[in-house]
Structure 1
Amino acid sequence: MQPLAGIRILEFDGLGPVTFAGMMLADLGAEVLRLTRSASAGAAVFDEVGGAVLHRARSAVPVDLKSSADRDRVLALAAGADAVIEGFRPGVMERLGYGPEALQAANPRLVFGRVTGWGQDGPLADQVGHDLNYIGLSGVLHAMGSADRPPTPPLNLVGDYGGGAMLLVVGVLAALVEARTTGRGRVVDAAMTDGAALLGGLFHALRGQGLWSDRRGVNLLDGGAPFYRCYACRDGGFVAVAALEPRFYAALLAGLALDPAEAPQHDVAAWPALAARFEALFLERDRDDWASRFAGTEACVTPVLSLTEAALHPHNRARGTFHDGLPAPAPRFDGARPVPPDAGVGLSLDEAVAQWSVPG
């Protein structure tokens, strides 16, 4: 049994972080109903995003949020829910009649989780944006990429999923624990700008100690250090090198047949020349040749795998990290290998209300 078994959550369907948060909560055992846009409500675009991974493990219930009849039934579902999650722009849920005040009036213990880019208040709260905008304002985007190029978009992992979805899940779980004691729900305001800034906490700490520069590509963990970056190989593949500790660095030099006296690790002025030396050496072999050469050593050199290759790697196969080529739920509990829950079914709103009556 998963830890959130018995928890009921209404997910107002959306894009990006709220979808990922719904998947996480369902993977952890919560019973999640995903309220999708009905045909009468217009676009079906939300049903096309997420697919077999992000929409797994919960039933889809078409709803016209502007219909008074549907509204009464959604309020009935909220009365029996432990939490609601939504990702609309500030004020939208209130205008539709589904804001925290309305839903918590019917269910005082309801946790109301909201995730947006800019947050529920502040000068930019009503402005449009996407992941790249939010992490740009947080300061973390500036630190990503090469020194001589514009910052590199880190997919949409830092804003949408790290700073948004994951912190929404943390906030909802914390509020659920409190609600069990107090009988009162909280409103969780998860902003991607806040979350991305928080994820950058280590680098603020390092900068405060004089150990991090605002110059991109010259620091220990941003690709500036020759022993913590990726290198191209002869066949066009890449290896990831993360030999931070001295003994790991020594193992790296041994694998590259370099004399430690000619490659001091922390001579920052010599880093560019040392990186060029490493680049030339890694180009002499194919990626998997290097992976074999460093296998079983402490050099922290591993192949950079594609999405397809990752599902086939022996470690990931042994761990069950992927299931049928798709990411499996994480984390696992008591060492049990997580198995993706069965795909959710389609329910009508009436069926959902009948199935999901208020707990007695």
Structure 2
Amino acid sequence: MGSIAKKTMRAQQYDARDNTLHLNEIPIPTPRAHELLVKIACASLCHSDVMLFEPNDQGLIIGQNPVTIGHEGTGTIVTTGSGAEARKFSKGDEVGFICPVDCCFECANCRNVHNAWCVTGKVRMQGFTVDGYFQEFAVVDARNAMVLPDSLDVKTAAPLFCAGVTAYHAIEDCNLEPGQWVAVIGCGGLGHLGIQYAKAMGLQVIGLDIAPQALEEAKKCGADHVFNSSKDPDWKAKLLEITSGGVDAAVNFSASKRSYDDCPAILRPGQGLLMVVGIPREPLQLNALDIALGRYRVKGANNGTCYNMRPAIEFSAKHTIQPHLTTYKLEEVPKMIELMNSHKAQGRMGVVFD
């Protein structure tokens, strides 16, 4: 079971009353029967964390206030709950986990779609409606956790448990064959992982971004071609020539509505797939006639469920998929957010705890 002597911890908490972060001292939580108390080793920043601070039409829900942000984490188990699921783990296990809590995990939606649509209507998301992982300790549902494969480092693997699972399924669920073309739009925190997964699956990759450092990251991750869509006025024509008519899938990791508007023109007519991952502030606008006439198809990918988390993590370990992680102190989370908003960050940013 285990225990800790201290009673409080530091946490970076978002407060909706002034729309800012506060480094607060809060109680260390106690795990319920089905939960694990984890000493956080690493918590990393996702773009959806930053959406808390922005006007947004996409249905992002805030519950508890103030709330500790962060929904990508790894750590070491300190205490296990008394329930059967929790007792499958042991004190000292190094684990990663995803963020839904208080859902049933058993309904068809929880198993096959996303926990957000649990039939109980009771789901909460750590980092948004209940405390997340930019704090020294966190409780996580044992059903959402897995022991890390030996080749993954607990201090660097945190991005795999949202960005990794999302990027893996964004590429895998395109159902492409080796040698086909995929455009990765937005080559930063998610996209640099998406490129690595695509290359591991034998695909040809074109990286698209407006930030030079993101395009450099794309090259390092194996992209066959890269284009700066804001600087090269002929990028669409060049892409169509390289791919002999368009990519077989365009996976959009960016939060730019304009980048979505550009996608139909680069998809191979009749078989191209638009994979929706990034969430712009404004709703997307799709041409109904394009869809009706089969010009392209639309799917989506997300941070997954406990049922499809493990294949993504095991694939990452097998193929040495590495999040490019820049580390900071807990006090520096506001700086991380500033860097993300200014598009100056490369790869993923995270806090590594002592």
**Same fold at TM > 0.5:** no
Of structures 1 and 2, the larger Rg is shown by 1
Higher strand share goes to which structure?
A: 2
- TM-score computed with the length of structure 2 as normaliser: 0.30
Higher helix share goes to which structure?
A: 1
